[in-house]
Amino acid sequence: MRRLGGLLGSRAGISTSKSLTALDEPAAYVELAEAELSKGSSPFHKLGLSTALFLRAVLGFEKEVMEKAHACLTDAEEVASEHQRRAVRDPSKAHQSKIYSAGAEYALCHAESQLMSAVVAVLNESLTESLKGFYKLRKAFATLHDISEQERRYLGRTGRGVGSSQVSVVTPGSGRETPGQSSGMLTPADSGEEEDEDDFVDAKESGSAPGTPPFTHQSGAVERDFQKLSLGDTARNRSHDGTPPTNTPIESDSALAQADQEIDFRTITSDPIDLFIHSGTALCFGLLQVLLSMIPPAFARLLSLFSFRGDREAGLRMLWSASKFKHNINGAMAGLITLGFYNGAVAFCDILSPGAVPHTRLRNLLREMRELYPGSKLWLLEEARMLGADRQVEKAIEIVDQGQSSGLKQVNALRMFERSLNCMYAHRYEECAQGFIECVGMNSWSHGMYYYLAGSCYVELYRLHKGSDAKLAEGYAAKAEEYLHTVPQHVGKKGFMGKQLPFDTFVGRKIKKWDFRAEKWGCRVVDAVGVSPVEEMAYFWSGFRRRNVEQLRTSLERLAWSEDVKANPHWERESADEKATLAMLRATCFRFLGEIPKAKATITEGVFSHDLAEVKACDHPDTWALPVAHYELAVCYWDEAGGQGGDRAMLQKCSDSLLKVERWESYELEARVGLKITTGRETLRKCGISSP
DSSP 8-state secondary structure symbol assigned to residue 239 = P
Express as a percent the part of the chain with pLDDT over 70. Answer: 77
Count the helix, strand and coil residues of the chain and give each as a percent rounded to the nearest 5.
65, 0, 30
Higher-pLDDT residue of 634 and 444 is 634
pLDDT at 386: 94
Higher-pLDDT residue of 201 and 660 is 660
Decide if 541 contacts 489 (C-beta within 8 A). no
Decide if 29 contacts 36 (C-beta within 8 A). no
Identify the three-state secondary structure at position 180: strand
Residue 466's contacts (CB-CB under 8 Å, 6 or more residues apart) are: 473, 567
Q: What is the pTM of this model?
A: 0.80
Q: What span, in angstroms and rounded, lies between the C-alpha atoms of 350 and 357?
A: 12
Domains of the chain, residue spans: 41-161+176-189, 250-266+306-374
205-236: per-residue pLDDT in tens?
Answer: 334 554 444 544 443 433 334 334 444 443 33
Looking at the predicted structure, is the pLDDT value of residue 317 above 70? Answer: yes
pLDDT at 63: 77
Higher-pLDDT residue of 258 and 376 is 376
Residue 185's contacts (CB-CB under 8 Å, 6 or more residues apart) are: 148, 151, 152, 155, 161, 162, 262, 263
pLDDT at 227: 39
pLDDT at 29: 62
Q: 5-19, 20-34, 83-97, 148-162: which has the minimum mean pLDDT?
A: 5-19
Residue 238's contacts (CB-CB under 8 Å, 6 or more residues apart) are: 162, 163, 184, 190, 192, 194, 244, 245
Phi (first) and psi of residue 426, to 5 degrees: -85, 5
Residue 389's contacts (CB-CB under 8 Å, 6 or more residues apart) are: 343, 347, 348, 357, 545, 546
C-beta neighbour count of 71 within 10 angstroms: 12
- The DSSP-derived string for 519-568 is HHHTS-HHHH--S-HHHHHHHHTTHHHH--HHHHHHHHHHHHGGG-TTT-
Tell me the longest C-alpha to C-alpha distance in the chain. Answer: 86
CA proximity to 190, closest of 145, 250, 157, 223 = 145
pLDDT at 160: 73
Chain centroid offset of residue 431 CA: 26
CA proximity to 518, closest of 392, 605, 619 = 619
C-beta neighbour count of 68 within 10 angstroms: 15
39-56: per-residue pLDDT in tens?
Answer: 888 999 999 999 888 888
Residue 312's contacts (CB-CB under 8 Å, 6 or more residues apart) are: 249, 252, 289, 290, 293, 294, 682
Sign for the CA dihedral angle at 274, 275, 280, 281 comes to positive
Q: What span, in angstroms and rounded, lies between the C-alpha atoms of 451 and 453?
A: 5
pLDDT at 582: 98
Residue 644 confidence class, pLDDT cut points 50, 70, 90: confident
Looking at the predicted structure, is the pLDDT value of residue 373 above 70? Answer: yes
Higher-pLDDT residue of 136 and 586 is 586
605-637: per-residue pLDDT in tens?
Answer: 999 999 999 999 999 999 999 999 999 999 999
Average pLDDT over residues 1-19: 42
Decide if 281 contacts 148 (C-beta within 8 A). yes
Q: 80-89, 184-193, 641-650: which has the minimum mean pLDDT?
A: 184-193
The mean of the pLDDT values for the chain is: 81
